[in-house]
Amino acid sequence: MSACNSMKYQESNDNLQFLHQEISQWRESPSEKTVYAPKEETIFLSGGLTLLQDKLIESALNSLGIRYISLPNPNFASFQTGKAYGNRGQCNPTYFTVGNLVKYLQKLRDEQGVSAEEIVRKYVYVTAGGCGPCRFGMYITEYKKALRDAGFEGLRITAFEHNKGIYQGEEIEDPLIEYTPTFFVTLIKAVIIGDIINILGYKMRPYEAEAGSVDRAIEECRKLVADAFLQKRSPLKTMWRCRSILEKVTLNRLQPKPKVMVMGEFWAAMTEGDGNYNLHRFLEAEGAECIPQPIINRLMLSLWEAEQKLYQSETLESETSKSIDFSAVKTRMMLKAGKAAVKLYFTLYAKAIGLHDYHIPNIDKLADYSKSYYTLECEGGEGHLEVAHLLESVKENLAHLVISVKPFGCMPSSAVSDGIQSLVTARHPEANFLAIETSGEGAANFHSRVQMALFKAKQAAKEEFEALKIPEKLPEKVYNYLYQPTNRKAGSAAKLIASL
Ligand code: SF4
């Protein structure tokens, strides 16, 4: 009580002069002008994808002569730092990623003795940004606020805008990175290779005969690919070499484990750490096999959305104009080329390392599944993909459990997609679906809800497997990860037995 009584209002609270001032645009700009370091001294920071992809991107960009560092994986301390310096009411990915950046810079200042002025002068943070119906549009402002309050005012932020390609923050006049085709191709290669190795890791780890052998093999592959980028060797040949590393891992794939599709809000579903209470590793420890959401899914959705917008604007224009707009033709060609390139690289690298049963998502097919539930023009978050993934899983029998994970109060995922999912589950009662939110705290509650949903999934996997007749003599190929049969069974063990 005495502490409360001794509190004083800030003087500015009495200042009501703003009431009669002319309204003007608010801008977030530093109070003092900073003289930044020249390009060759500039260091780029980013991160927040999967652990493997962050490291591969670092090597790929370093190979182009860009001084780039991937930040460590965001953890609970990052979240607390984000909360301490951020505004209230933001979503988890902001707290984790903003806090992670501030934490890194504080460490640089306090443990390595680099002054705050030097940090602001030399470092640039690269993040995703963009407009949208949710808080995503406010991320950059949030970074700037937290950096200012943490003593790094003026640190430059530059953004990949998810729906417009790339732009640089308006305060940067001279482009710091040359966004050439080589830059994009190298970056996309690193992301695709990371996706492929991650998918294989999730397929193999639950069945490893010796604990830790898959992680060790994957780390060996990562080093090979990173070296290939740095030494400018062929990534394709390197992926072929990775195949022999993975083949040495002994697997026991005849265990009926529940298959769990993890999807939901992009960051919450993709991150591998405290951001989703280590959901993937938790599921594996509980005896499940995960189907992760690769980053190319989001990339393919962005390309699909851009194509749809183009188609809509062309349809509108053709009703009013008599001439053909050739700029739209050029954009269409570029989008097609982009899609073809992603598919080509994915197919080549996947074949080389031995990922045979995974195909790039067909967004047209997924849109077809979800269009009677979800307005396809409604963008934001994962758009119609969450609803489509659940329908895909039910119709094609892909998983025993579908978990949709999202930060607490995520507008597109909790408020829109989950509302629609209740109609999907009403029409498809066979779906085992769990929508679950993360808030940074509350891991015990989160894990116990996942365990409850897993119980049903484990039973389903066991029944599916036990309904099959196991041959007396099993061929050697069932123990080799390169044998990946496709059929209507969901569990990996059931798929193998059904294929014999
Ligand atoms: S999609 Fe959800 S979690 Fe992501 S920025 Fe928007 S509201 Fe936040």
Residues in contact with 37: Cβ distance below 8 Å, sequence separation at least 6, in sequence order: 121, 122
Residue range(s) in the chain whose domain bears CATH number 3.40.50: 33-174
- Distance set, CA 127 to CA 45, 84, 141 (Å): 9, 20, 12
Ligand 1 atom with the shortest distance to the CA of 133? 6
Measured from the CB, is residue 130 less than 6 Å from ligand 1?
no
Residues in contact with 113: Cβ distance below 8 Å, sequence separation at least 6, in sequence order: none
- Beta strand spans in 320-459 (E): 401-407, 433-438
Query: Is the CB of residue 401 less than 8 Å from the CB of residue 434?
Result: yes
Q: Write down the pLDDT at residue 9.
A: 60
Percent of the chain with pLDDT over 70: 91
Ligand 1 atom with the shortest distance to the CA of 380? 1
> How confident is the model over 469-497, as pLDDT tens digits?
999 999 999 999 999 999 999 999 999 99
Q: Indicate the pLDDT class of residue 107, thresholds 50, 70 and 90.
A: very high
Average pLDDT of every residue of the chain: 90
Question: Which residue minimizes the CA distance to atom 7 of ligand 1?
Answer: 410
The residue whose CB lies within 8 Å of the most ligand 1 atoms, and thus the one to mutate among 79, 96, 135, 143, is 135
Nearest-angstrom CA–CA distance, 296 and 202: 16
Helix ranges (H only) for 287-384 are: 295-320, 326-353, 363-370
Measured from the CB, is residue 128 less than 6 Å from ligand 1?
no
pTM, whole model, 2 decimals? Answer: 0.90
410 CA to centre of ligand 1 in angstroms: 5
Nearest-angstrom CA–CA distance, 498 and 470: 9
Place of tokens 């890194």: 104
User: In the β-sheet with 433-438, what is the strand arrangement from edge to edge?
Assistant: 289-291, 259-264, 401-407, 433-438
> How confident is the model over 128-173, as pLDDT tens digits?
776 667 888 888 888 999 999 999 999 998 876 654 443 334 444 5
Residue of 175, 482, 267 whose CA lies nearest to 353: 482
Q: Indicate the pLDDT class of residue 177, thresholds 50, 70 and 90.
A: confident
Nearest-angstrom CA–CA distance, 205 and 329: 46
- Distance set, CA 394 to CA 397, 400, 433 (Å): 5, 9, 10
Question: 468: how many CB neighbours lie within 10 A of its CB?
Answer: 17
> How confident is the model over 38-52, as pLDDT tens digits?
988 999 999 989 999
The domain over range 33-174 is classified in CATH as 3.40.50: yes
Q: Write down the pLDDT at residue 7.
A: 64
Half-sphere exposure of 424 (CA within 13 A, CB side): 29
